[in-house]
Amino acid sequence: MNLLRLMLTFMILLGSAGVVYLSGVSINLRKQNEQLATQAEQQLKQAIEEGEILRVGDQQARNEVLAGWVDAPISEQLKKGRPGLRQMQTALNDALVGRGRVWDECRRSSANEKGEATVTVAQPTPPGIEAKMLMRVFQKADLSNADTPAGGAYLGEFLVTAVDAQKVSLKPASSMPQRKLDQLANGPGEWVLYEIMPSDRHSAFTGAELGKLIPTSVRPEYARDGQPANEKDPPEALRRVWVRNADGNGAYKLDVPEGEAPDAVPATPANNAKFTESPGSGNYDLKEGKLEDGKFVEGKFYDRPLRDYSVILHELQRHIWVIQDRLATAQSRFDALSKSAEELKKDDGPLAKADKEIAKLEATLKLTKEEVEFTKKKLEAALKYMAENSDKIEQLLAQNKKLADRLTAYQLNEARKIDDASQATRTPEPAGAGQ
């Protein structure tokens, strides 16, 4: 019995030790699970916060990123804070505004005298280009060559006629001058295709690029952009920026997008943001100044006027067409005159006949001149003779007058004699005749 009791007691003690051990293990496992659960909750919270940041960005990114009109390019703006998918998507949309898609790595494979060309698009694959699309084509500028740093040029608008894998066939959308055709065929073979004409921005052509790409005539505009204005700058040439009014008594209002928190109203709105006048109750003011590193600097700064390249280049193309028409008209007239000149130069042509007629007229003119000269000499001799004999002529005229007077007196005397004689010979009538 004692042995059984001892064995039972031993078994109880052994079981108790196992229970104690298992209880300790269970407690440790529970503590570990609680720690793991806490860590998992923290990781889940961090993951949710990280996911929210990835979705909409952190507070700094929401307030300071994507001021499209600020001097800093979008790539620099995206370095502020932690931009999320929303900022990246907005950045992509903002980059495509006024430009559309761009195919930057294109090489000209062939080109003919009509301006029809084939290019090979390196990226993306497939290129995403379809027939009948209208492309704005540029030749790439080679900035790596110090001797000829530029070299790029706008070739014009082209229609996509066919797409075969990475090869894209293009033809000019309108007639091109010969100079452009030569440039297209013989100029740089690296091309850039734009779906939409690129828009002008204040962040374009800054820094060292000024000396390479900007014509001297307009370079001061780019160099002065954002710099202090001078006294000659008119009011419309001063930069004005949208500044957030935290007190809510601004002159303009930018509505918060539906579903966004009030703090989603950006400190620096995008360049395509739309405002409504709301004097005294708006959340923005339009002030003279500029932004530097996301902070408003009040003052008078020169604001370079942005250009609409699409309008400018279309107007340039219109002038080219007008000049082409004038050149064609001038060439047609020149050809007609050249043909007339050739006809005139022929032996039996009008010019030869005119030369013969001129020779005859010249001979007649010579003879006439001789006759005029002879007549002139005769007239001079006659005048000289008259001058020398004028006294004699006067004397003869006086004598002639006297003779005429004597003749008249003689005639009158004879007439009286005849009359007297006729009276004397008349017979008198007898006395008493007629009774």
For residue range 180-193, list pLDDT tens digits in order.
Answer: 888 888 888 889 99
**CA–CA separation, 241 and 291 (whole Å):** 8
Looking at residue 34, its pLDDT comes to: 79
Q: Is 433 strand, coil or helix?
A: coil
* Structural tokens at position 99: 């430009």
Between CA 310 and CA 176, with CA 184 as vertex, the angle to 5 degrees is 60
State the helix-helix crossing angle for 390-424 and 350-388, rounded to 10 degrees: 70
Query: Percentage of the chain surpassing pLDDT 70?
Result: 75
pLDDT at 106: 92
**What's the confidence (pLDDT) of residue 316?**
82
Instruction: Identify the CA nearest to 67 among candidates 56, 59, 78.
Output: 78
What pLDDT sits at residue 264?
Answer: 41
pLDDT at residue 435 above 50?
A: no
Which pLDDT band holds residue 118 (cuts at 50, 70, 90)? Answer: very high
Per residue in 366-416, pLDDT tens? 888 888 888 888 888 877 777 777 777 777 778 888 888 888 887 787 778
Within 13 Å, how many C-alpha atoms sit on residue 423's CB side?
Answer: 6
Average pLDDT, the chain: 77
- pTM equals 0.52
Rounded Cα distance, 162 and 181, in Å? 20
Burial (CB count within 10 angstroms: exposed 0-12, middle 13-18, buried 19+), residue 14: exposed
Query: Residue 51 — pLDDT band, cuts 50, 70, 90?
Result: confident
Q: How far apart are CA 433 and CA 425, in angstroms?
A: 20
As a whole number of angstroms, the distance between CA 145 and CA 343 comes to 55
Average pLDDT over residues 306-317: 82
Among the listed ranges 82-91, 307-316, 319-328, which one has the minimum average pLDDT value? 82-91
Q: Find where tokens 């374009």 sit.
A: 204
CB 65 within 8 A of CB 92: no
Q: How far apart are CA 270 and CA 286, in angstroms?
A: 14
pLDDT at position 229: 92
> How sure is the predictor about 146, in pLDDT bands with cuts at 50, 70 and 90?
very low
Query: What average pLDDT does range 131-154 have in this prediction?
Result: 71
Residue 416 CA to residue 410 CA, distance in Å, equals 10
Q: How confident is the model at residue 17, as a pLDDT?
A: 67
Instruction: State residue 213's pLDDT score.
Output: 67
List, in order, residues 6 or more apart from 225 with CB less than 8 Å away: 71, 202, 302, 303, 304
Predicted confidence (pLDDT) per residue in 228-284, tens digit? 999 889 998 999 888 888 888 888 887 655 444 444 444 455 555 677 888 888 888
Does the pLDDT at position 432 exceed 70?
no
| Residue with tokens 């050739």, as numbered in its chain | 342
Structure tokens at 245: 């009014």
pLDDT tens by residue, 344-366: 777 677 777 788 888 888 888 88
Mean pLDDT calculated for residue range 329-356: 80
Q: What is the pLDDT of residues 66-105, one digit of tens each?
A: 544 344 555 666 666 777 777 777 666 666 655 678 898 8
Q: Which of 16-25, 46-55, 303-312, 349-358 is least confident?
A: 16-25
- Tell me the H-state helices in 57-111: 59-64, 74-77, 85-96
Confidence band, pLDDT 50/70/90 cuts, at residue 15? low
Q: Is the pLDDT of residue 162 over 80?
A: yes
DSSP 252: E
Beta strands in 184-294 (DSSP E): 190-194, 240-244, 250-253, 276-282, 284-292
- Looking at the chain, how many residues does it have? 435
Rounded to 5 degrees, what angle do the CA atoms 252, 256, 257 make?
135
CA–CA dist 108, 167 (Å, integer): 10
Name the pLDDT band for 314 (thresholds 50, 70, 90). Answer: confident
Task: Calculate helix-pair angle for 309-345, 350-388, nearest 10 degrees.
Answer: 70
pLDDT at 375: 86
Is the pLDDT at 221 greater than 70? The verdict is: yes
Give me the helices (H) in 214-289, please.
219-224
Residue 215 in contact with residue 160, Cβ under 8 Å?
A: no
CA–CA distance, 316 with 155 (Å, rounded to integer) = 12
The residue among 188, 113, 127 whose CA lies nearest residue 162 is 127
- For 407, list phi and psi in degrees, rounded to 5: -65, -40
Which pair of structure tokens corresponds to residue 1? 């019995």
pLDDT above 90 covers a percentage of the chain that reads 10
Q: What is the DSSP string of 303-328?
A: -PPP--HHHHHHHHHHHHHHHHHHHH
> Is a pLDDT exceeding 60 seen at residue 133?
yes
Alpha-carbon torsion (357, 362, 363, 367), positive or negative: positive
What local confidence, expressed as pLDDT, does residue 42 receive? 86
